[in-house]
Amino acid sequence: MRTFINTLILILSVTCTVAQDASKAVLKHLNDKQKHYEGMAETIWKWAEPGYLEHKTTALLQDELRGEGFKMEQGIADIPTAFVASFGTGKPVIGFLAEMDALPGLSQQATPDKLAREEGGFGHACGHNLFGTGSVAAAIATKKWMEANGIKGTIKLFGTPAEEGAGGGKTYLVRAGAFNDVDAVLQWHPGDNNSASPSSTLAYKVALFRFKGIAAHAAAAPEKGRSALDGVEAMNFMVNLMREHVSQETRIHYVIKKGGLTSNIVPDFAEVEFTIRHPSVSGLNDIWDRLIKVADAAAMGTGTSVSHEIMTGLYNLLPNETLAKVMQRNLEKVGGIIYSEEEKAFAEAIRKTVSSSSLPPVESAAEVKPYQLNGLTSASTDVGDVSWVVPTTGLSTATWVPGIPGHSWQAVACDGMSIGFKGMMVAAKTMALSAVDIFLKPELIPIAQSELVKARGSNFQYKSLAGDRKPPLDYRK
């Protein structure tokens, strides 16, 4: 018995030493390369390319990975800017996600004052310039460690375009089977705090409803016209009445895309975009069925016709505690973000532009939030689709000054300067260390997979909420 205990202590001691050595090597590589990765992130921030049009961004990320010995598959799922970069052979297969698209109308300089780089241009208001670069950095750091230590297994970095809006790029990659051989996926997202606590998101569907009517002179012959815009407005009115009769977690948004050319002509065409969100796919589908009935009723009541096109649909995120606890431990090891005096001045100045009286303290950027089950967030992400087919976990880091919201010009400013870059490196280090842990403890994978099967049901079969439509490659043009 004493011999067994001594042997076990020796094994645990060796494992601990290996893990400590791995941490040192990974962190050293990322510290040494920090300026290089900051330069990449800043370059992508300046390009600010929209979804499915990230041609320069994807080329930069691919060149970086190719130069480090990764094999490249391009044009995944019939998306020109999507790619998979692979290193190694055999199991386990660890995936990293790398987003890269920017948002419309949010061009901004890296200043605490609202100053556009290009009026009406795109901006990285969700930090995907940091997301893509940080994930690439994590994948390369993990690869360097594997190579130096003869570690068996495979890294796959997925270059995933068009997360924003009606893009939903990952749903098409999942549908195409890109993740079928992956054992675990690690990802992250910019934010205003440091946390690896697991939470779910809202399932999501976006569609365009197109009404067709009959044009006529609005003054001389209005009785001969049938207004497509009336159809849109009737639909909007009935959907707004429906809000009282859905669960409080449900979200419904719309915007009129086209409403006619001039008020002197009865519009014969009008178009409205609807987004619906719900905590579950089944609940989302129920509301979707009601939305279709409302559209048909609006057309019937206004003497018009209506058709619809699903732009994309996303699953809710399935949290995986097995992997989340690994990520949390490593985030605590890496720690938060310490501001320089110059960064503190920037932070205090930009916080004054936010209309809120209850902002968290600037110093909270240095903290790591305690682990807890966070329940439900009201956002949506196409990472949700990935999480239903492979165990997935992620973290957020304080790339934005505490209290700064995403999808804002203030977020763009932070994403293009040192505060954002520091947060990116926290994420890169945390993901790389988590990948190392999984390679050293492959027994985590069946546990994580069992948790996934239990959460989604043993008879689950993935079916994209986007249906069989092709990726909407031209929706940003």
Query: For the segment 444-461, what is each residue's pLDDT rounded down to a tens digit?
Result: 999 999 999 999 988 899
Model confidence at 17, pLDDT cuts 50, 70, 90, reads low
Does one domain contain both 409 and 423?
yes
In a domain, 412, yes or no: yes
Of 265, 291, 313, the position where a domain reaches its end is: 313
Is 15:9 a contact under the CB 8 Å cutoff? no
Q: pLDDT value at position 89? A: 96
The model's pLDDT over 23-44, given as tens digits with 9 standing for 90+, comes to 888 999 999 999 999 999 999 9
Residue 182 in tokens: 């992956």
Asked if the model's pLDDT at residue 301 lies above 90, the reply is yes
Identify the residue whose tokens are 């990520």.
327
The CATH number of whichever domain residue 240 belongs to comes to 3.30.70.360
In a domain, 252, yes or no: yes
| Furthest-apart CA atoms within the chain: distance in Å | 102
Asked if the model's pLDDT at residue 71 lies above 50, the reply is yes
Does one domain contain both 195 and 212?
no
Does one domain contain both 329 and 349?
yes
In a domain, 113, yes or no: yes
Does one domain contain both 331 and 302?
no
Contacts with 304 (C-beta within 8 Å, 6 or more apart), sequence order: 211, 212, 213, 226, 227, 228, 230, 231, 298
Reported as type and span, the H/E element at residue 446 is helix 444-456
Cα–Cα distances (Å) from 108 to 46, 396, 421, in that order, read 10, 22, 16
Asked if the model's pLDDT at residue 374 lies above 50, the reply is yes
Task: Give the residue numbers spanning the domain of 208.
Answer: 203-313
β partners of residue 274: 207, 254
The model's pLDDT over 80-134, given as tens digits with 9 standing for 90+, comes to 999 999 999 999 999 999 999 999 999 999 999 999 999 999 999 999 999 999 9
Q: 35 phi and psi, to 5 degrees?
A: -60, -35
Does one domain contain both 192 and 241?
no
The CATH number of whichever domain residue 86 belongs to comes to 3.40.630.10
In a domain, 358, yes or no: yes
3-state secondary structure of 320: coil
Q: pLDDT value at position 21? A: 75
197-201, 377-381, 394-398, 461-465: least confidently modelled range: 377-381
In a domain, 475, yes or no: no
Does one domain contain both 306 and 336?
no
Contacts with 390 (C-beta within 8 Å, 6 or more apart), sequence order: 95, 179, 182, 183, 184, 185, 452
Asked if residue 92 has a cis previous peptide bond (ω within 30° of 0), the answer is: yes
Model confidence at 4, pLDDT cuts 50, 70, 90, reads very low
Does one domain contain both 128 and 47?
yes
Model confidence at 356, pLDDT cuts 50, 70, 90, reads confident
Does one domain contain both 292 and 328?
no
Is 105:127 a contact under the CB 8 Å cutoff? no
Mean of per-residue pLDDT scores for the chain: 94
Does one domain contain both 280 and 299?
yes
Asked if the model's pLDDT at residue 11 lies above 50, the reply is no
Does one domain contain both 173 and 63?
yes
In a domain, 365, yes or no: yes
Does one domain contain both 195 and 209?
no
In a domain, 3, yes or no: no
Does one domain contain both 346 and 320?
yes
Of 313, 329, 364, the position where a domain reaches its end is: 313
Q: pLDDT value at position 14? A: 47
Cα–Cα distances (Å) from 319 to 99, 196, 335, 363, 386, in that order, read 19, 11, 22, 28, 11
Number of domains in the chain: 2
In a domain, 9, yes or no: no
Of 260, 293, 313, the position where a domain reaches its end is: 313
Residue 227 in tokens: 């207004």
Residue 13 in tokens: 């001691």
Q: pLDDT value at position 8? A: 40
Between CA 188 and CA 397 the distance in angstroms is 8
